[in-house]
Amino acid sequence: MEVPILKQGQYLIASIQSALTDADLSQLREALIERVGRFRSRGVIVDVTALDVMDSFAVRTLRDIAHMARLRGSETVIVGIQPEVAFAMVQLGLTLKGIATALDLEEGLAFLNQQGEGRLEDRRPPAGRINRG
């Protein structure tokens, strides 16, 4: 089953709706990486709220998505990992080290917005600081 990918401003949001096969996961990875370029997206959110199992392949694919998106100039946040899924991931010895996670979509968007502000700040010359009120 194909995962719908929504373009929202500078971000892409992929909300996984049901259980995914390995092929579905790989397809999601390709689609996201292609769209990061096509839409010049600055951020990717993968919502895994609907996933009730995460095995090594799923974690590896999420990790690959985050790393590949970063290489293309986009930050990834994984949102909605369920408590029992987190429990199983830790027992399996799987982590998402170095990859941003957030409790839900709202928190994920807030994180990306924050990152974006940081980026703008970096580019602004110190003398020309604007009061954002």
Partner 1 sequence: MGEELRLPITADVDVVQARQRGREVAADAGFTSGDQAVIAAAISEVARNILMYAKRGEILLTLVNNGDRQGLLVVARDQGPGIRDVGRALQDGYSTSGGLGLGLPGAKRLMDEFEVSSVVGGGTTVTMKKWRRLS
- Closer to partner 1 by CB, 66 or 89: give it: 89
3-class DSSP assignment, residue 113: helix
Q: How many CB atoms lie within 10 A of CB 67?
A: 13
Closest CB 6 distance from partner 1, rounded Å: 24
C-alpha span between 112 and 45 (Å, rounded) = 9
Q: What does the block give as tokens for 105?
A: 């979509």
- Looking at 38-46, 66-74, 83-91, 96-104, which segment touches partner 1 (CB under 8 A)? 83-91
Phi then psi for residue 104, to 5 deg, are -150, 180
**Residue 4: CB minimum distance to partner 1, A:** 18
70 binds partner 1 (CB under 8 A): no
Asked if 53 is part of the footprint of partner 1 (rule: CB under 8 A), the reply reads yes
Question: Smaller CB distance to partner 1: residue 8 or 56?
Answer: 56
Per DSSP, the three-state class of 49 is: coil
To partner 1, the closest distance from the beta carbon of 67 in angstroms equals 14
> Residue 86, Cβ neighbours under 10 Å: how many?
12
Residue 21 sits in the site that holds partner 1 (CB under 8 A): yes
